[in-house]
Amino acid sequence: MLVLLSQVTQEKAVSQQTESQWISDAKAGDRAAFEQLYRGHVGRVYALCLRMVGGQVSVAEELTQDAFVRAWQKLARFESRARFSTWLHRLTVNLVLDDRRSQAKRLKQELHSDGHQERAADPLRRRPGICMDLEQLLARLPEQARRVLVLHDIEGYKHREIGEQMGIAEGSSKAHLYRARQLLKEWMA
């Protein structure tokens, strides 16, 4: 057991060392090193984007690409004392929230015109009680409530941090989370 633990610790140290090397190479302009960083982190970044935008694959893909392009541009600001994954994660959350804010008007219009049709055809609404895949249920949550739930319950952010990042009060963040959880429980029953 101890041997296994020490092996795991060693592997982790080696992988951290490798990542540090990739970071410093990428900082110096090495795109191959940056590709390694991309390969190592794309899964988490994409999952975050996809959940935050309610399962819209093409939007999530675009935001994931933007997140890595922005990470490349800002890499000089990254300091090795911070964890790269945490830094990248924060950068992605900021990017997604900024993007959503800037497109709020367009989204509102889309929801107004297409949303009604989409909702009418929503199998979940027609057949309440059906136990669908959780990812699909997350996508059905109201936008703000979904973002708060993703950030709080899945990504581990505090309400204070969510409030700051989303530009809402801490209390509103709690209210959105409560609503999201109530809806999920109702749908999963």
Partner 1 sequence: MNFNDKQLDRVLDNLSPELTPQRDLWVDIEPRLEDRPQHHAGLRTPVWAIAVSLLLCVSVVWWQVGDRPAGQSAVPLPDQLVDADFPRQWAEQQQAYATEIRSLSRMISDLEDRQKLILPDGIQQGLSGILAAEHSISKAIMQRPQSDLLTRKLSEVQAIHVSLLRRVVAEAV
Segment 33 to 72, residues that bind partner 1, using CB under 8 A: 34-35, 38-39, 42-44, 46-47, 50, 57, 60-61, 64-65, 68-69, 72
- For residue 125, the tally of other CB atoms under 10 A from its CB is 11
Any idea which residue has 């092996």 for tokens? Answer: 7
Per-residue H/E/C for 14-78: HHHHHHHHHHHHHHCCCHHHHHHHHHHHHHHHHHHHHHHCCCCHHHHHHHHHHHHHHHHHHHHHC
Task: Pick between residue 100 and residue 177 the one whose CB is nearest to partner 1.
Answer: 177
Is the distance from CB of 89 to CB of 155 less than 8 angstroms? Answer: yes
Is the distance from CB of 64 to CB of 49 less than 8 angstroms? Answer: yes
Among 12, 31, 119, 125, binds partner 1 (CB under 8 A): 31
Mask for 129-158, x = binds partner 1 (CB under 8 A): -----xx-----------------xx----
CA distance 96 to 88: 12
Binding of partner 1 at residue 113 (CB under 8 A)?
Answer: no
The one segment of 11-19, 26-34, 104-112, 114-122 that binds partner 1 by CB under 8 A? 26-34
Segment 167 to 186, residues that bind partner 1, using CB under 8 A: 181, 184-186
Residues engaged in binding partner 1 (CB under 8 A): 29, 31, 34-35, 38-39, 42-44, 46-47, 50, 57, 60-61, 64-65, 68-69, 72-74, 76-79, 82, 86-87, 90-91, 94, 134-135, 153-154, 161, 164-165, 181, 184-186, 188-189
